[in-house]
């Protein structure tokens, strides 16, 4: 046991230093800057477009002073309703002497951005627009026209308010949002970092180093060492960007959404988040290492990257769906499947204060890591190294001896008989 642990430590230290000391590791650390910059630019452009589109205008075409009265009543409503009413703009084209007005032509005119047109009189207003706008503004326009028609409108009565710190529904919804945010962050980290394990063995297989290592140490120790090395590299990545994120929160924290406190509390939630990231990485990494060990070229690794990404997406979607199915067989199945178990348990930590299920889940996930590593190492030795089956047959005694029908001869007696 001690020799295997030493072997794991030697391989992990060797691979960790080999990755950290490369110049390309700096580019790896800076890689999240590019999607962040692109996302920020796309977000600013999208916010600008949304801001322009979220300013609906309603044209007013009423004869006499009705149009001005309607606009004044709308302004009163805007002050009291927080501006949640569309903007009313007077149209240059007004009804004729008979009160006729072509609202359809005004809406299709290319010189304005009108979403609807209100015409007629205050006693009988006519709202012209799409079905969505009519269902949204019909009652509001009736209230505005009714207020504009009164000579001395009364002010809205003051509403007394009573503020509470929180409610059961708000607390539950907030914890669900925290759980969803934690699952999304865990998914992004594992998707970004676990893919490195796919190409871990390709270079060493090409220059025959893997054969030397396999002859010196057990194959499962080699797999575990490489897994922990990549996990250490990932933790360095998370540590660097965690410091950057802390600085960003310190200076721009007011612009960030405030998440509800998880059921287990923030300190323990961060500890569980670290543990479940490590388990999710080891589970997926052990599977990817076994799959990537079968590839002999970089092109094969690139071919495998797409199904691996799809696998990660399916795991994330399944765990996200289980979040909405608490207490059902879906959640229990998500807990039983080892690859979705870390995501589901992290969401449970945000919603339930019990701690013993996390101890059971972590032990369950450790067992699955060992099973996948042992299976992957055995398959790698038998299919890639071409040595597992031959060595097993060479060391096996004859069939009659294994069945107890004949005693095994000592090695000296066999040599003497030879």
Q: Both tokens of residue 223?
A: 């797999």
pLDDT of residue 245: 79
Name the residue among 338, 346, 310, 339 with its Cα closest to residue 183: 346
Categorise residue 382: left if φ over 0, alpha if ψ from -120 to 50, beta otherwise: alpha
DSSP code string of 366-378: HHHHHHHHHHHHH
CB 57 within 8 A of CB 89: yes
> Locate tokens 């000579």: which residue?
151
pLDDT of residue 105: 74
| CA distance linking residue 330 with residue 202, whole number of Å | 38
pLDDT of residue 160: 53
pLDDT of residue 333: 94
| CA distance linking residue 369 with residue 289, whole number of Å | 12
The DSSP output letter for 23 is T
Name the residue among 106, 148, 102 with its Cα closest to residue 124: 148
CB 346 within 8 A of CB 273: yes
CB 146 within 8 A of CB 125: no
30-37 contact pairs (CB < 8 A, 24+): 32/192, 32/241
Residue ranges of the domains in the chain? 54-149, 168-393
| CA distance linking residue 370 with residue 365, whole number of Å | 9
- Local confidence pLDDT in tens for the 418 residues of the chain: 678 888 888 888 888 888 888 887 888 888 777 767 776 776 676 666 555 555 677 878 887 778 888 888 888 777 666 556 777 888 877 666 555 677 777 777 655 667 788 888 888 888 888 887 777 778 888 888 887 777 555 555 555 555 545 455 667 778 888 888 889 989 988 888 877 777 767 666 666 777 777 777 888 888 888 889 888 988 998 888 888 878 777 776 555 566 778 888 889 999 999 999 999 999 988 888 877 777 777 677 777 777 877 888 898 899 989 888 888 899 999 999 999 999 999 999 988 889 999 999 999 999 999 999 888 888 877 766 654 444 444 444 554 444 444 455 554 444 344 3
The CATH number of 54-149, from 3.40.190, 3.40.1130, 3.30.70, 3.90.930, is 3.40.190
pLDDT of residue 152: 54
pLDDT of residue 154: 56
Enumerate residues 6+ apart whose C-beta is below 8 A from 123: 149
Beta bridge partners of residue 118, listed in sequence order: 60, 127
pLDDT of residue 280: 92
pLDDT of residue 161: 52
**Is the Cα torsion angle 375, 381, 382, 387 positive or negative in sign?**
negative
pLDDT of residue 112: 63
């Amino acid at each position: 046991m001690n020799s295997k642990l030493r072997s794991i430590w030697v391989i992990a230290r060797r691979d960790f230093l080999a990755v950290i000391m490369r110049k390309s590791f700096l580019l790896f650390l800076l890689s999240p800057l590019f999607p962040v910059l692109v996302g920020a630019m796309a977000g600013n452009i999208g916010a600008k477009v949304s801001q322009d589109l979220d300013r609906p205008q309603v044209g007013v075409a009423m004869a006499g002073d009705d149009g001005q009265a309607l606009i004044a009543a709308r302004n009163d409503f805007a002050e009291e309703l927080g501006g949640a009413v569309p903007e009313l703009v007077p149209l240059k084209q007004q009804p004729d002497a008979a009160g006729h007005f072509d609202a359809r032509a005004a809406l299709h005119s290319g010189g304005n951005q009108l979403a609807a047109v209100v015409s007629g009189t205050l006693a009988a207003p006519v709202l012209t627009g799409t079905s969505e706008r009519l269902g949204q503004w019909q009652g509001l326009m009736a209230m505005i026209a009714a207020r504009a028609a009164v000579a001395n409108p009364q002010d809205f009565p003051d509403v007394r308010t009573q503020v509470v710190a929180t409610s059961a529904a708000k607390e539950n919804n907030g914890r669900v949002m925290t759980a969803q945010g934690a699952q999304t962050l865990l998914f992004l980290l594992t998707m970004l970092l676990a893919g490195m394990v796919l190409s871990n063995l390709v270079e060493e297989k090409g220059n025959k180093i893997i054969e030397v290592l396999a002859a010196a140490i057990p194959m499962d120790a080699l797999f575990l060492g490489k897994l922990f090395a990549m996990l250490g590299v990932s933790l360095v990545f998370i540590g660097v960007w965690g410091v950057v994120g802390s600085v960003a929160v310190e200076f721009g924290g007011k612009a960030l959404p405030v998440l509800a406190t998880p059921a287990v509390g923030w300190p323990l939630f961060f500890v569980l988040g670290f543990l479940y990231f490590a388990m999710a990485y080891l589970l997926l990494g052990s599977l990817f290492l076994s799959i990537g060990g079968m590839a002999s070229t970089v092109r094969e690794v690139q071919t495998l990257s797409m199904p691996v990404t799809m696998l990660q997406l399916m795991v994330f979607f399944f765990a996200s769906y289980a979040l909405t199915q608490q207490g059902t067989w879906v959640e229990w199945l998500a807990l039983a499947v080892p690859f979705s178990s870390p995501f589901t348990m992290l969401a449970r930590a945000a919603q339930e204060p019990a701690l013993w299920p996390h101890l059971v889940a972590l032990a369950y996930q450790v067992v699955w890591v060992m099973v996948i590593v042992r299976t992957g190492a055995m398959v790698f030795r038998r299919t890639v190294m071409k040595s597992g089956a031959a060595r097993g047959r060479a060391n096996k005694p004859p069939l009659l001896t294994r069945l107890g029908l004949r005693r095994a001869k000592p090695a000296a007696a066999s040599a003497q008989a030879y």
